[in-house]
Amino acid sequence: MKSKKSQGLSVNVIILAALALAVLLVLIVIFTRGIGKTSENLGSCITKQGQCANKEGKCPEGYQIPIFVAGDCKDSKPENLCCIRAG
């Protein structure tokens, strides 16, 4: 009689692969959420130590450089116009 040798994955290898996949998915979710918040904060007027332009699009006294930022100057015209100090 001939003996048949099987080559299959053990149950331990399958469990470890499933755990590694779950950890990888959790890390992807954590980093994608964190990166979104970081880019939003870096693009804010407050982070740049600026002040939002007024409704007429004019910068406050001492803030000469107008730039556009991500979302925290909603009331300025044009929207998201931030003014920063020169130097």
pLDDT tens readout for residues 40-56? 666 778 888 888 888 88
The answer to whether position 2 is within a domain reads no
In angstroms, rounded to a whole number, what is the distance separating the alpha carbons of residues 82 and 65? Answer: 8
Q: Are 75 and 67 in contact (CB under 8 A)?
A: no
Tell me what pLDDT residue 22 has.
Answer: 96
The answer to whether position 73 is within a domain reads yes
The answer to whether position 22 is within a domain reads yes
pTM of this prediction? 0.48
Does residue 49 come out as left (phi exceeding 0), alpha (psi in the -120 to 50 range) or beta?
left
How many domains is the chain built from? 1
* Range of the structural domain that residue 44 is part of: 11-84
The answer to whether position 52 is within a domain reads yes
